[in-house]
Amino acid sequence: MDSPSDRFHQQPSQMCPFELYRSLPDSNPSNHRFSPGSLSSHPLFSPLMHPNSMSQRWGSFRQRQGLFPGLLVDDDVSEEDVFGKREFSVGATPSLQRCPGERGQGSAPEPGDWGQDFARVKRLRMDSAARSEEEMRRREGKRGRKSTASVRMDKRRGAEQGNRRESREGRKRQRQELKLQLEETRGKLLELQRKVWKVYGGQADDEKGGEEEQENGLINLDEVAEMFSDSDDPLTGSGFSPPRCSSKKPNETNGNAGIFPETSVDLDLELNGDQVWLGCSLVRGEWESAEGGQKFAQALKQELANVVAQVIDRVVRLYAETDPSAVTMASVPQETSMTLDLNPDQRPRPHPAEQVEALPLLTKSPQDKRAPIAQSVPKDLLLPQANPSLTPLPQPPLPALLPPRRKDHFLPSYPPDNPVPLPLLHYTMQNLFARSLSTLPLHKDCLSESFMDFRSHNSAFPPISLLGQLEPSPSDRAREGGMRGGGAGVVDGGDAALYLAAGSSQEGLSPCHLKKAKLMFFYTRYPSSSTLKTYFPDVKFNRCVNSQLIKWFSNFREFFYIQMERFARQAAREGLASARERALHLGRDTELYRILNMHYNKSNDYQVPERFVEISEVALREFFSAIQSGRDADPCWKKAIYKIICKLDSPVPDSFRLPGCPTDTYRMG
């Protein structure tokens, strides 16, 4: 039989995850500690889902078992083949394991990479040496039990030749014994799991399938390793049933059974089910035959795989909740689970491809030191969708930037159910691009590099039709300054990319800041330096930046007053009083309003505050009266008007205090 230990000496990329833990020649764990900060960049669980590791092993297993006669899985077959056939054979499982944007599309993963990942996991496993020892002892005990079971079965075979009834009773006893053994191991695993979860942070009881998570930062890799190590034993692996491989456990969601299901019921269900047992092809009664022992071992192994899948699942969940950029990966263990999905349960599961795809992409996206928006966006908007099993997080007062995934993706090369949330992809790419620009030499002292660059390269970015994907749903339109602050806003096509990237910290001013300043102009025409500092928290202020911002507002005023004077003179030329009055009224349907809106709110995604319309009309009338009365002959005739307008500043909404480009959802959708 193809016991896990048979694969001991295979190259890492072909090893089962649990083999890794079992076969650790490295005895110097202290050399291999990973800093938690680097966690997100380590594809910890990706190797576990790699076909060369788990799935391929199970593919071979299936082949030898004849579980899928039509599914020829060879150890040397390519990843694509494995996947393709698997997908074909397990059509009911909506699974896309590889990442079109990353590993798929013919770009086979490099075994070296995966091997390294395995090695990392290995080392992690070694980090808990004492724990390992304990588990080894545990394993030894279980192996002993296992062989005992085999012996018993042999004996039973001999008894079969005797009295029929006796043999039947013996079988019953055997079954009972096996059940007891399984229950025992399950109990032990349960205990172990609880320990682990306590160590992890007292979540043993309140953590229901990883649904209630807190943002504790990055997971300690040791803890992750422990979680893996908890389930690396085939026998202990039977402690919890696979979420997707065996029959659904009705009590699985009761209490802590969500993680550690009650054992007796499970076994009863499975043994009485007269169907697939423990998620493999071992049908009731079959395991009592001559090869029953082997099949029993296989069943146990399969259980182990299921356990691994669960562990991965939980690790991924933890990833998802601690690293928002990985949320789309949440609940991932599709590789093993899909492979073993012979008896799919009813547990709702997220689209596998969605998660598998996004992680490599997202974890590679630069995590800016401040970037609160960048981090919050995917979590808020993608988490509930990508992982419906997770409790939705409270909606922060940040704009919803990423809409639900739509089917009409604009990257045609992707499948319809493209797992990569494209807006997110967009953001990532833009962010990468923007960041890469930051390495360019400075052109200006005050403006950010990206600003300088993008001013002449806006065309390099997607047109608005594409960026329209970023628009939130029209459901929560905000009225009258109802901006929901902070986030990287959706603006016109040319600038949107820049604004998106501007949630990150800036040495200088970015187009997003310009946009924000313009929107601020709706509220304050004469902001003080302190005000500017307040509302541009993501800008490192120095004299130059401050002057630049002041200059911006000066320019805004310049434009504003020029338009006022122009339209005032135009009104002054009106002969009829009614027409003049009409011209002096600044309705939202007037040309002056359109011009102002176009200038300060170019993308028209922000509702111009009524107050600004009123103030503009005041200015217009002031200009008009000055012109009418001939005061414009005075070279300083505008000063008086400036004085009036200067007093009409209103407070800027708090949403502007957040970094990034504010926007409301007006006109969205």
Query: Residue 623 Cβ, how far from DNA at the closest point, in Å?
Result: 11
Nearer to DNA, 198 or 444 (CB): 444
Query: Residue 252 Cβ, how far from DNA at the closest point, in Å?
Result: 58
Q: Which of residues 525-544 bind DNA (CB under 7 A)?
A: 526, 528-529, 543
Nearer to DNA, 136 or 646 (CB): 646
Dist CA 602 CA 465 (whole Å): 16
Site string for DNA, 541-580 (x = CB under 7 A): --x--xx--xxxxxx-xxx-x-------------------
Question: How far is the CA of 637 from the CAs of 567, 625, 629, 645, 654, in angstroms?
Answer: 16, 11, 11, 14, 35
Q: What is the largest CA-CA distance in the chain?
A: 124
Can you read off the two tokens belonging to residue 448? 């950010």
Query: Residue 32 Cβ, how far from DNA at the closest point, in Å?
Result: 51
Cα atoms in the Cβ-side hemisphere of radius 13 Å centred on 459 = 1
Question: How far is the CA of 59 from the CAs of 66, 83, 111, 192, 619, in angstroms?
Answer: 10, 10, 18, 30, 76
Stretch of residues binding DNA (CB under 7 A), selected from 224-232, 261-269, 592-600, 652-660: 592-600
- Size of site (CB under 7 A) for DNA: 25
Three-state SS string across 313-324, please?
Answer: HHHHHHHHHHCH
Residue 94 makes CB contacts below 8 A (sequence gap 6+) with 351, 352, 353, 417
Nearer to DNA, 156 or 569 (CB): 569
Q: Identify the CA nearest to 359 among candidates 646, 106, 73, 45.
A: 45
Dist CA 650 CA 299 (whole Å): 72
Residue 488 and residue 661 in contact, taking contact as beta carbons nearer than 8 Å: yes
Can you read off the two tokens belonging to residue 132? 């390992």
Alpha helices in 340-421 (DSSP H): 352-364, 372-386
CB atoms within 10 A of CB 281: 18
Can you read off the two tokens belonging to residue 26? 């490295």
Query: Residue 464 Cβ, how far from DNA at the closest point, in Å?
Result: 17
Decide if residue 625 touches DNA (CB under 7 A).
no
Site string for DNA, 638-667 (x = CB under 7 A): xx--x---x---------------------
Decide if residue 634 touches DNA (CB under 7 A).
no
Query: Residue 540 Cβ, how far from DNA at the closest point, in Å?
Result: 15
Site string for DNA, 436-475 (x = CB under 7 A): --------x-------------------------------
Nearer to DNA, 551 or 582 (CB): 551
Nearer to DNA, 114 or 553 (CB): 553
Residue 52 and residue 109 in contact, taking contact as beta carbons nearer than 8 Å: yes
Nearer to DNA, 205 or 591 (CB): 591
Beta bridge partners of 428: none
Q: Which of residues 231-290 bind DNA (CB under 7 A)?
A: none
Query: Residue 653 Cβ, how far from DNA at the closest point, in Å?
Result: 20
Nearer to DNA, 90 or 452 (CB): 452
Stretch of residues binding DNA (CB under 7 A), selected from 129-137, 170-178, 337-345, 636-644: 636-644
Dist CA 212 CA 207 (whole Å): 6
Dist CA 357 CA 346 (whole Å): 23
Query: Residue 400 Cβ, how far from DNA at the closest point, in Å?
Result: 26
Nearer to DNA, 173 or 647 (CB): 647
Stretch of residues binding DNA (CB under 7 A), selected from 54-62, 139-147, 175-183, 593-601: 593-601
Query: Residue 618 Cβ, how far from DNA at the closest point, in Å?
Result: 15
Indicate the SS3 state at residue 248: coil
Residue 276, H or E segment: strand 276-277
Residue 457 and residue 395 in contact, taking contact as beta carbons nearer than 8 Å: no
Decide if residue 599 touches DNA (CB under 7 A).
yes
Nearer to DNA, 17 or 494 (CB): 494
Residue 295 and residue 150 in contact, taking contact as beta carbons nearer than 8 Å: no
Q: What are phi and psi of 516, to 5 degrees?
A: -65, -40
Query: Residue 557 Cβ, how far from DNA at the closest point, in Å?
Result: 4
Q: Which of residues 327-366 bind DNA (CB under 7 A)?
A: none
Q: Which sign, positive or negative, has the C-alpha torsion 659, 660, 662, 665? A: negative
Q: Identify the CA nearest to 503 among candidates 661, 367, 363.
A: 661
Site string for DNA, 486-525 (x = CB under 7 A): ----------------------------x-----------
Residue 216 and residue 201 in contact, taking contact as beta carbons nearer than 8 Å: yes
Query: Residue 440 Cβ, how far from DNA at the closest point, in Å?
Result: 17
Nearer to DNA, 334 or 590 (CB): 590
Nearer to DNA, 405 or 638 (CB): 638
Query: Residue 229 Cβ, how far from DNA at the closest point, in Å?
Result: 57
Query: Residue 639 Cβ, how far from DNA at the closest point, in Å?
Result: 7
Residue 211 and residue 253 in contact, taking contact as beta carbons nearer than 8 Å: no
**Identity of residue 347:** R
Residue 659 makes CB contacts below 8 A (sequence gap 6+) with 370, 372, 373, 486, 503, 505, 536, 537, 538
Among residues 108, 199, 572, 595, which is the contact residue for DNA, using CB under 7 A? Answer: 595
**Identity of residue 540:** K
Nearer to DNA, 414 or 559 (CB): 559
Query: Residue 558 Cβ, how far from DNA at the closest point, in Å?
Result: 4
Among residues 151, 283, 290, 598, which is the contact residue for DNA, using CB under 7 A? Answer: 598
Query: Residue 491 Cβ, how far from DNA at the closest point, in Å?
Result: 12
Binding site for DNA (CB under 7 A): 444, 514, 526, 528-529, 543, 546-547, 550-555, 557-559, 561, 595, 598-599, 638-639, 642, 646
